[in-house]
């Protein structure tokens, strides 16, 4: 996976896969979240140990955010900011599945999607819409019950015409 063959990757390791695809910091954060959620759905364990926080614009991995906080949230992260980590083939298949399902969406589209997801909504309970928070987004059997793989055991592709709202219009 990473430098040690059976070591769990970090969120920054996973980020490199998406940075090479050409993503903004905002889109990267949401793709990390969906990578974690769907990995849990498929494997009943977390992909990485970095904590995901319930920020106003959706889930954020602080350890990754701190690496790109100098950038505008809609700017594309330069390719040379990717770490060149060796991820195993099982993980590459998973990340490609996430990309194929969500990569066509903008960062704002993904904000809208995450705002409808149980893990994020549960983590934001009791907070105002514009209230900052560092509460952890909990990903477990209860919060991922609405995430269902397609009949071929793949992540379903999101159709933006039926699922996006407020932030997609910015």
- pLDDT 10s digits, 114-145: 999 999 999 999 999 999 999 999 999 999 99
DSSP state string for the chain: --SSTTPPPPHHHHHHHHHTT---HHHHHHHHHHHHHHHHHHHSS-S--SPEEEETTEEEEHHHHHHHTTS-TTSPPPGGGS------HHHHHHHHHHHHHHTTS-HHHHHHHHHTSHHHHHHTTTS-TT----PBPP-STTTTTT----TTS-PPPP-HHHH--GGGG-
- pLDDT 10s digits, 4-39: 456 899 999 999 999 999 999 999 999 999 999 999
pTM above 0.85, yes or no: yes
pLDDT of residue 2: 45
């Amino acid at each position: 996976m990473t430098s040690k063959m059976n070591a769990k990757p970090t969120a920054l390791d996973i980020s490199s896969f998406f940075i090479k695809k050409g993503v903004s910091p905002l889109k990267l954060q949401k793709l990390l979240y969906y990578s974690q959620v769907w990995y849990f759905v498929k494997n009943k364990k977390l992909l990485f140990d970095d904590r995901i926080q319930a920020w106003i614009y959706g889930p954020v991995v602080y350890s990754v955010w701190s690496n790109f906080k100098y950038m505008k949230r809609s700017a594309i992260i330069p390719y040379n900011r990717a770490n060149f980590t060796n991820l195993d083939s099982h993980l590459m298949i998973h990340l490609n599945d996430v990309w194929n399902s969500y990569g066509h969406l903008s960062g704002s589209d993904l904000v809208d999607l995450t705002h409808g997801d149980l893990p994020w909504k549960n983590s934001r309970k009791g907070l105002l819409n514009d209230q900052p928070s560092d509460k952890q987004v909990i990903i477990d059997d209860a919060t991922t019950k609405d995430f269902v793989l397609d009949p071929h055991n793949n992540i379903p592709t999101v159709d933006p015409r039926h699922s996006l709202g407020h932030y997609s219009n910015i």
